[in-house]
Amino acid sequence: MPNVDRIYTACLIIIGDEILSGRTQDANLAYLAKWLGVQGIRLSEARVVKDDMAAIAEAVNALRIAHDYVFTTGGIGPTHDDITVDAIAAALGVDVVMHPDAERILREHYGERITDTRLRMARVPAGSTLIANPRTGAPGIRIGNIFIMAGVPAITRSMLDTLEGALPGGLPMLSRTIGAWTMESRVADLLARVEKAHDGAQIGSYPFWREGRTGANFVIRSVDPAVLASCASALTVALEAEGIDATDGEI
Amino acid sequence: MPNVDRIYTACLIIIGDEILSGRTQDANLAYLAKWLGVQGIRLSEARVVKDDMAAIAEAVNALRIAHDYVFTTGGIGPTHDDITVDAIAAALGVDVVMHPDAERILREHYGERITDTRLRMARVPAGSTLIANPRTGAPGIRIGNIFIMAGVPAITRSMLDTLEGALPGGLPMLSRTIGAWTMESRVADLLARVEKAHDGAQIGSYPFWREGRTGANFVIRSVDPAVLASCASALTVALEAEGIDATDGEI
């Protein structure tokens, strides 16, 4: 049952020089954001940090206090640039230890190809539990409110699958989009007025240019289905009163 | 001329609920990272923050001291959810004023369709200069080391075009990729050894699974072309000594 009395927030720390160099396009943030939304948890902040012990530790320590949940992606493989476990252990002031279940999983996965290097992926901050990775064996790690996940999107998603429904959350954020072929600057006052009249609803305005024309999608968000519906209908009426066709859904 | 004596760093603050809700995939970080690389500036950190005055101001004040350059994207349009200018002015403790050149540009762009709402896009933190926007008129804003840019990628890119070559930087980071059809865990020790033997070079290991096979791309980075070349050739030799074909370039 969702807890209706408070808002649960999460943040994501994306760890990796490959993101900051522009080599790799992050594909985890948007997926995690939507996944958290379903769990009744709001992604409130994200940071991208270098493969650097101090940078990772600083972000972890700032954010684990500010949010209900901290997710990290990246840096948990077997190579020398995979330093997430060490950095988070340092941030928390705990040792790095071998997790016996992780060691067993890796030994089963690799069989006789197991090596000390591959067993590095069984190293965890002391006090951790594991997040199953049905896809490639090497598990994710949970310590306190920190969830340490892989950077490779298919693996991250398989780890999130195993966490489905396991995290306490509040009411899920609902959204509804009204699209219109208009310049957002033409309807800016109207948007502000409709939002103000609907407590508990926010309206975001996202302009676009397509087929030589200007349009905008107006995204209404609320945890209350009744507020969402009445805000969407008020916005539709207000747009049409200005002679602007409003589409129910994104255009 | 690049300044060879120090490293210039930048950070990016991505402003927008639409990114944190997962509705919109950011497309500015990777582009900016590569653009900065050419200018001899390293993107060292990025944050994604909500459309919230306090969240934006906190990020700006933390990061403008830590980096040579701060870039922001998003929240500079004409609608009620566009609060970047107000938040940055508040962070800096300066007023928001109308910029006369921005007002002129908007009046020319809109002609008789100019409205007070559209003129909101001429509001800047006091002391700002403008960043030209050849694409849609409404300019970006520079104040001190902060560059306030649009969120729509085509507009952000046109603003960066106008900044090309204008920002002092150091030596550009060079990179070279060696690809191999091997598990990274098989060569982890080898990678660490080659990196250690080449001062001023970093090697990142990026595994992938494709066509039912496991491979990895090893990205070598250095500001020194000679170090880059010798590290790449040492890595190739070391891989082939293990019986692993090394491809010059990403696979």
pLDDT tens sequence across A171-205: 988 999 999 999 999 999 999 999 999 999 999 99
Q: Give the per-residue pLDDT at B155.
A: 95
Is the CB of A48 less than 8 angstroms away from the CB of B29? yes
CB burial string B25-46: b at 16+ within 10 A, e below: ebbbbbbbbebbbebbbbbbbb
Q: Give the per-residue pLDDT at A190.
A: 96
Is the CB of B45 less than 8 angstroms away from the CB of A55? yes
Domain residues for the domain of B134 are 8-163
At residue A128, what is the residue type?
A: S
Q: Within this chain, do residues B40 and B89 fall inside the same structural domain, yes or no?
A: yes
* Share above pLDDT 90 across residues of chain A, in percent, rounded to a whole number: 93
Chain B residues in contact with A20 by the CB 8 A cut-off are 33, 42-46
Among A20, A32, A205, beta carbon nearest to B43: A20
Q: Within this chain, do residues A42 and A157 fall inside the same structural domain, yes or no?
A: yes
Q: Within this chain, do residues A181 and A72 fall inside the same structural domain, yes or no?
A: no
Does residue A1 sit within a domain? no
Q: Within this chain, do residues A120 and A232 fall inside the same structural domain, yes or no?
A: no
Q: DSSP readout, A214-239?
A: EEEEEEEEES-HHHHHHHHHHHHHHH
Mean pLDDT (chain B) is 95
The residue of chain B with its CA nearest to that of A21 is: B33
Is the CB of A17 less than 8 angstroms away from the CB of B118? no
Q: Is the pLDDT of residue B200 over 90?
A: yes
Q: Give the per-residue pLDDT at B1.
A: 65
Q: Within this chain, do residues B90 and B14 fall inside the same structural domain, yes or no?
A: yes
Number of domains in chain A: 2
Q: Within this chain, do residues A53 and A99 fall inside the same structural domain, yes or no?
A: yes
pLDDT tens sequence across A18-66: 999 999 999 999 999 999 999 999 999 999 999 999 999 999 999 999 9
Q: Give the per-residue pLDDT at A135.
A: 86
pLDDT band for B210, please (50, 70, 90 cuts).
Answer: confident
Min CA distance, A165 vs chain B (Å)? 19
Q: Is-contact A36 A10, C-beta < 8 A?
A: yes
Is the CB of B20 less than 8 angstroms away from the CB of A45? yes
Lookup result for tokens 């003129």: B119
Mean pLDDT (chain A) is 95
CATH number of the domain where residue A71 is located: 3.40.980.10
Chain B residues in contact with A37 by the CB 8 A cut-off are 21-22
Q: Give the per-residue pLDDT at A212.
A: 86
Q: Within this chain, do residues A37 and A86 fall inside the same structural domain, yes or no?
A: yes
Does residue B78 sit within a domain? yes
Q: Within this chain, do residues B106 and B219 fall inside the same structural domain, yes or no?
A: no
Is the CB of A21 less than 8 angstroms away from the CB of B33? yes
Q: Give the per-residue pLDDT at B163.
A: 96
What is the distance in angstroms between the CA of the first residue and the CA of the last residue of chain A?
A: 34
Among A29, A195, A209, beta carbon nearest to B80: A195
- Decide which of A143, A163, A183 is a domain's last residue: A163
Give B241 or B134, the one with higher predicted confidence: B241
pLDDT band for A1, please (50, 70, 90 cuts).
Answer: low
Q: Within this chain, do residues A217 and A112 fall inside the same structural domain, yes or no?
A: no
Q: Give the per-residue pLDDT at A2.
A: 75
pLDDT band for A3, please (50, 70, 90 cuts).
Answer: confident
Q: Within this chain, do residues A230 and A132 fall inside the same structural domain, yes or no?
A: no
Q: Is the pLDDT of residue A94 over 80?
A: yes
Does residue A127 sit within a domain? yes
Give A105 or A211, the one with higher predicted confidence: A105
pLDDT band for A111, please (50, 70, 90 cuts).
Answer: very high
Q: Provide mean pLDDT across the span B77-101.
A: 97
Is the CB of A22 less than 8 angstroms away from the CB of B30? yes
Q: Is the pLDDT of residue B90 over 90?
A: yes
Distance CA B169, CA B69 (A): 10
Whether the complex's predicted ipTM surpasses the cut of 0.90: yes
Q: Within this chain, do residues B46 and B137 fall inside the same structural domain, yes or no?
A: yes
Q: Provide mean pLDDT across the span B183-204.
A: 95
Chain B residues in contact with A222 by the CB 8 A cut-off are none
Does residue B168 sit within a domain? no
The token pair at B87 is 């938040």
Is the CB of A77 less than 8 angstroms away from the CB of B19? no
Q: Within this chain, do residues B159 and B217 fall inside the same structural domain, yes or no?
A: no
Min CA distance, A94 vs chain B (Å)? 25
Q: Give the per-residue pLDDT at B209.
A: 87
pTM of the predicted structure, to 2 decimals? 0.94
Q: Is-contact A172 A223, C-beta < 8 A?
A: yes
Q: Is-contact B103 B122, C-beta < 8 A?
A: yes
Residue A71's nearest CA partner among A123, A120, A129, A144 is A144
